[in-house]
Structure 1
């Protein structure tokens, strides 16, 4: 049983093969109890449980009653917006409004095209409007299928493009890393070469300084040797001269 305020058109166009569980309106209205309906009065347009149906037949002998297997099923179970205890049972084709029994009496007493909803359902299901709506829905479904195919194709294209882009990015990244590594290697090699050249120049300068020092040392040693030899020579010369000369007295005697 549906007690929420659903869309009336949806209720009218529901699948007629779907059997709804109807409930006794008297028990719902007066006792606020849910009791499954066992029959339907075509004169009162009311669903009745077994107990209510028994008394209804007793006091309303002229009314036409349909049992549970033959009572209408395609029926709106919504309550009236104005009369909260009444179910919406009728539709006025002139006013194009739904109505409960109270609304039918008060607002549509002079209307000649007020029909019981279950009687309208078969006509509505076979109406031109429903056929056109069904055709439009079929066309819409086909359009949706075509759109879905296009979307799937586009999704595949986007996915392939994304893969290509990722591959391109990876390739560019690899190229950049390769160039960077080569550049880094060249820098390191150039730096090492400059260091080696600098060390070599320092070694050469060092050797030059060593050679100069050694040359100066040799010159100094030669100079010292020369001075020493000259001193020795002078000493020896002076000493020899003194020993070789005769005494002065002997020279006089002669």
Structure 2
């Protein structure tokens, strides 16, 4: 029989708050934490804790880490400020609207693309 201590350790703690940018690894595991950085090479956003784990691996240390609001222009320079997708999908619980369906001339999230726009 499980004790109160066992039950507490299996509960996922997350925030109900919606952020402009969520941490990618945390989002995949059902937690909502605000991202503080973006890895250009991985294409992922990281909270401070996940960024620590990312930087522990020697192969990942050479990755280019930016503030979450920075963007790389086509000439290779960094453009600061907004520009990355921040709109959330109303159907798929806050997933980023970051894809475009050419056939339907519509922007949508990755789940919408997989389900409705094959």
TM-score, length of structure 2 as denominator length: 0.48
Q: TM-score, with normalisation over the residues of structure 1?
A: 0.26
Larger RCO, structure (CA 8 Å, separation 6 or more): 2
Higher normalized helix content (fraction of residues): 1
